[in-house]
């Protein structure tokens, strides 16, 4: 379809869909990340090399979760931004730090697991906490450098009532090029590294008859967690973000497509899904920190005992 006028896109969809998702992620994410970080800090002396990355993963989540109340207000007020242009850019910057920081630290965890399983003798004594801290600083710097150009794009409308997650339609062509490059370097490359590490590690584990079954299960469990995170949170977000930008470029050139409205709605759904990573990342705590599953089992045991005591305690009969 090639018309000078395009069909109307249901822009009100995100005002109905995003606020409930943000509220859910904010509550669940703060509780789960707060508990996970508390457990890590409580066992600071036993903090291992991988747990340094898990700690940073939690910090990226907390950073983004603290911006969600402002986005809730924005969408509940039907996309009227009242916090100024600078804070709009800071809010979007925090989201990008969370998204690409999470991908970066998950990739670091994957590489460390791979080295420990496939090349245990070569890396013995080399995977230290100090090196993990140094790598974490490098991840923060790389993600910040990748995200910084986004702040130079226009994020608010002329009357500062909108806070764009990408940019104004005037600059959408340039932003599409930037977004594709960002996707390749910030998502596709780490994703391929993660898949390669765990694919090879699982092949090695399956071929070794002497491999500890517990280690094999832990590796498979973490691979499953990463597949869930990438499939639900990261892949749809990057695919539909770029498709939506392309649709906006075509619309600006008066080249309309029937799929534009569907892509826009899918993009808004993927935005809700990508923020779920802040609530799902604590699943990595369960895998990386052996103390947390033990604490969960203790809580479940106490709850079970409390229920059993309530059921056993005889109910006193009222006096006649």
How far apart, in whole angstroms, are the C-alpha atoms of residue 115 and residue 133? 17
Give a yes or no: residue 307 inside a domain.
Answer: no
Count of structural domains, the chain: 1
Give a yes or no: residue 5 inside a domain.
Answer: no
Give a yes or no: residue 157 inside a domain.
Answer: yes
Q: What is the pLDDT of residue 302?
A: 61
Q: What is the pLDDT of residue 78?
A: 80
Give a yes or no: residue 4 inside a domain.
Answer: no
- The Cα-based distances of 289 to 28, 198, 216, 250, 286 in angstroms read 19, 19, 16, 48, 6
Give a yes or no: residue 279 inside a domain.
Answer: yes
Helix (H) or strand (E) holding 184: none
Average pLDDT, the chain: 82
Which residue from 42, 39, 150, 171 is spatially nearest to 99, judged by alpha carbons? 150
- The Cα-based distances of 263 to 137, 231, 237, 239 in angstroms read 36, 18, 11, 10
Q: What is the pLDDT of residue 1?
A: 43
Give a yes or no: residue 195 inside a domain.
Answer: yes
Q: Which two tokens stand for residue 88?
A: 């709009």
Instruction: Please provide the size of the chain in residues.
Output: 320
Which residue from 136, 128, 140 is spatially nearest to 48, judged by alpha carbons? 128
Q: What is the pLDDT of residue 220?
A: 76
How far apart, in whole angstroms, are the C-alpha atoms of residue 292 and residue 286? 6
Predicted TM-score (pTM) of this structure: 0.84
Which residue from 60, 69, 128 is spatially nearest to 94, judged by alpha carbons? 60
Contact 284, 60 (CB under 8 A): no
How far apart, in whole angstroms, are the C-alpha atoms of residue 169 and residue 252? 8
Handedness of CA 212, 57, 269, 253 (dihedral sign): negative
Contact 313, 78 (CB under 8 A): no
**What are the φ/ψ torsions at residue 156 (nearest 5 degrees)?**
-125, 155
Residue located via tokens 């925090």: 94
How far apart, in whole angstroms, are the C-alpha atoms of residue 133 and residue 199? 26
How far apart, in whole angstroms, are the C-alpha atoms of residue 97 and residue 66? 13
Q: Which two tokens stand for residue 318?
A: 């009222």
Give a yes or no: residue 104 inside a domain.
Answer: yes
Per-residue pLDDT of the chain (320 residues; tens, 9 = 90+): 444 455 666 667 788 889 999 999 999 999 888 887 777 777 666 556 778 888 899 899 999 999 999 999 998 888 889 898 999 999 999 999 999 999 999 999 888 888 888 887 777 777 788 888 999 999 999 999 999 999 999 998 776 688 999 998 889 999 999 999 999 999 999 999 998 988 888 888 777 765 567 767 777 777 788 888 888 899 999 999 999 999 999 988 888 777 888 899 999 999 999 999 888 888 776 665 555 455 555 555 665 666 666 666 555 545 54
Give a yes or no: residue 7 inside a domain.
Answer: no
How far apart, in whole angstroms, are the C-alpha atoms of residue 164 and residue 144? 19
The CATH number covering residue 72 comes to 1.20.1070.10
Residue located via tokens 């052996």: 290
Give the domain range for residue 23.
Answer: 13-292
How far apart, in whole angstroms, are the C-alpha atoms of residue 46 and residue 44? 5
Q: What is the pLDDT of residue 119?
A: 83
């Amino acid at each position: 379809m090639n018309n000078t006028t395009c069909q109307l896109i249901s822009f009100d969809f995100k005002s109905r869909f995003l606020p409930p998702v943000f509220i859910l992620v904010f509550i669940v994410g703060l509780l789960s990340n707060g508990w996970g970080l508390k457990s890590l800090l409580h066992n600071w002396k036993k903090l291992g090399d991988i747990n340094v990355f898990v700690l940073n993963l939690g910090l990226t989540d907390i950073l983004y979760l603290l911006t969600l109340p402002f986005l809730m207000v924005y969408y509940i007020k039907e996309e009227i931004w009242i916090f100024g242009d600078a804070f709009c850019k800071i809010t979007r910057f925090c989201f990008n730090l969370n998204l690409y920081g999470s991908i970066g630290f998950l990739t670091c965890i994957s590489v460390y697991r791979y080295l420990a399983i496939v090349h245990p003798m070569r890396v013995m004594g080399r995977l230290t906490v100090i090196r993990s801290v140094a790598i974490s600083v490098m991840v923060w710097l790389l993600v910040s450098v990748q995200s910084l150009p986004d702040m130079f794009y226009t994020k608010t409308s002329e009357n500062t009532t909108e806070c764009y997650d990408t940019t104004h339609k005037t600059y959408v062509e340039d932003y599409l090029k930037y977004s594709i490059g960002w996707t390749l370097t910030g998502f596709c490359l780490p994703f391929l590294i993660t898949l390669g590490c765990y694919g090879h590690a699982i092949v090695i584990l399956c071929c070794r008859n002497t491999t500890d079954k517990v280690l094999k299960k832990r590796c498979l469990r973490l691979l499953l967690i990463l597949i869930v995170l990438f499939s639900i949170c990261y892949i749809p977000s990057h695919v539909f973000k770029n498709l939506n930008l392309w649709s906006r470029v075509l619309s600006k050139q008066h080249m309309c497509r029937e799929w534009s409205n569907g892509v826009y709605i899918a993009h808004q759904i993927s935005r809700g899904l990508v923020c779920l990573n802040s609530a799902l990342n604590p699943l990595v705590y369960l895998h990386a920190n052996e103390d947390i599953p033990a604490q969960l089992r203790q809580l479940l045991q106490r709850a079970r005992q409390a229920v059993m005591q309530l059921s056993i305690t005889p109910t006193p009969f009222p006096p006649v």
